[in-house]
Structure 1
Amino acid sequence: MKKRIFYIISFLVIFCMEVLIALYVRDRFIRPYVGDMLVVVLVYSFVRIFLPTGIPRMPFYVFLFACLVEVLQYFRLVETLGVTNRVARIVLGSTFDWGDIACYAVGCVFIVLFEHFVRRRS
């Protein structure tokens, strides 16, 4: 139960950070890089709410999911589906970028290091 609460709080905090970044930050570092790194941590935290003990290689699966979304951007899924909702367009994204994939990888490495550190302390 303690883990689940930790991941609920983590999800909510990171979600609020992502919303604030999306709405108010217009720079060339925080929004494109930190925002992309945090999104995989957000997804990971969300999944851990429902699977508090985790599953082997979960950070890798989150990375694959993020890459799938990025590949769908390459194939212009948003335009193909005719998505006009601003929030949906932001969540799905509309521009493929290899740098985004690198940011997802950094976020997943952070997750692995964080989980390793937490396991060693307990």
Structure 2
Amino acid sequence: MRCKPYYLAWTVLLLLIELGIALFVDDDFIRPYVGDVLVVILIYAWVRAFFKVAILPAALGVLVFAFGVEILQFLNIVEVLGWESSAIARTVIGTTFSWEDLVAYTVGVGLLLGAEKVVGPHKHEWTSLH
């Protein structure tokens, strides 16, 4: 496995931004919506940093993963598994389903695909790696 420094840098930057939002922002827009838009971009950057996967499959995979986590929230999986007292499970999986989150994830993936098309250094890697 070979690391792509460009995506690793984005991973670190977005992780720091997400941590800043989680620790210091308590509002009705940035934390719930911007945070969700950025989290899919963060996961995508991490995937592209460490795994040999093309742009489109990586982006769609991240979107499916994010939707999957949201569906688990809809199914109250944390409670079903008896993990209500686990702060880690409640934070990582989440406990509240929201249609708006699905929209935010989709917007995030749309933004990252647009950025890859316009300025991405690896924009030739859309469906396969050369």
Which consecutive unaligned segments of at least 5 residues does structure 1 have?
none
Distance in 2 (CA, whole Å) between partners of 1:20 and 1:89 is: 19
Residue 28 of structure 1 pairs with residue 63 of structure 2 = no
Offset from partner CA, 1:7-42 (integer Å, 9 cap, x none): 111111111111111122110000000000011001
Q: How many aligned residue pairs are there?
A: 119
Q: Which residue of 2 aligns with 1:68?
A: 68
Structure with the bigger percentage of helix: 1
For the aligned residue pairs, the C-alpha RMSD in angstroms reads: 1.9
Q: Which residue of 2 aligns with 1:98?
A: 99
Distance in 1 (CA, whole Å) between partners of 2:24 and 2:34 is: 14
Q: Which residue of 1 aligns with 2:38?
A: 38
Which consecutive unaligned segments of at least 5 residues does structure 2 have?
125-130
TM-score by length of 2: 0.82
Spell out structure 1 runs of 4+ moving beyond 3 A: none
Identity among equivalent pairs (%) = 40
Distance in 1 (CA, whole Å) between partners of 2:22 and 2:70 is: 17
Q: Is the 8 A contact 2:47 2:58 kept in 1?
A: no
Q: Which residue of 1 aligns with 2:87?
A: 86
Q: Is the 8 A contact 1:70 1:96 kept in 2?
A: yes
Distance in 1 (CA, whole Å) between partners of 2:4 and 2:40 is: 18
Closer/same/farther in 2, CA of residues 61 and 53 from structure 1, 3 Å limit: closer
Q: Tell me, what secondary structure is at the counterpart of 2:4?
A: helix
Distance in 1 (CA, whole Å) between partners of 2:21 and 2:55 is: 30
Using the TM superposition, give the Cα deviation of residue 54 of structure 1 relative to its aligned residue in structure 2, in angstroms. Answer: 2.4
TM-score by length of 1: 0.87
Q: Is the 8 A contact 1:74 1:95 kept in 2?
A: yes
Residue 17 of structure 1 aligns with an amino acid whose one-letter code is I
Q: Is the 8 A contact 1:71 1:96 kept in 2?
A: yes
